[in-house]
Structure 1
Amino acid sequence: MTTLAPSLARWLGAADSKAPDHLWETSDVTAPATLTAHTAVLTITGMPRALRPRIETAMVLCVPSDSALEIPGADPLTADWFTPWRRSGGRGPGLHVACRQVLTGTEEEFDRLRTVVENLARQHGFSAELTPA
């Protein structure tokens, strides 16, 4: 038995309006309620480089909703899926980094992320803010 790729199955089923988009799904699946996505900019400067994983983990855990900034049809192998960190001056010895990341999510998600990031900034002496875009 041959299994068709999802895009090919969709193309072949286009002539029959009753055909499901995917052969493995039923056509009576209801879509989940959509949440209103907001955009915010996370700006960090002078952060000790060792805290990068903590900030990136906070972004994943606090803002779990899918990004609304996806470009339809974009090649996933060339998409920008990472936070662009760069070197920055900072207090004390060691290497420091900075970033400017555009995020989308709900207000509740942003409130959680803002709390975590501001607490880390206060504890470790760097500048961080999450502002609406």
Structure 2
Amino acid sequence: MSSSDAVAWFEIHVNDIARMRAFYAQVFGWTYAELPGFPLGEYSMIVAGDGDPPLGGLAQSARRPPPAGESTVVYLLVDDIDGTLDAAAAAGGTVHRPKMNIGGEHGYCAIFQDPEGNHVGLWADH
């Protein structure tokens, strides 16, 4: 179960997604691509520049306000999500969101919670 140091994705969990789209557009110049049908709620993929691939997302939190440790999630690129979740659990963490298919070519993600309540995302091609 090797992983790279690469950050694969990040999410900012928000309550009012329209307001936060406008805020981050003003601060960073971000534009957005919608992700229709996302199973966990409204989701906007963040695009930093014209023609650039999305680099993260704004996710409407199912809980308001988002709990501590869940407001921003960084996804780390790993070779084996299942093995990494097992290692996190063996070290005292818990699975927060099990492995799920993001859809087609986008791969898979999961989130574990460390012993202090921080959420860490995992991302893999398979």
Q: TM-score of the superposition, structure 2-length normalised?
A: 0.23
- Larger RCO, structure (CA 8 Å, separation 6 or more): 1
Q: TM-score of the superposition, structure 1-length normalised?
A: 0.22
Select the structure that is richer in strand: 2
Higher Cα Rg: structure 1 or 2? Answer: 1
Select the structure that is richer in helix: 1
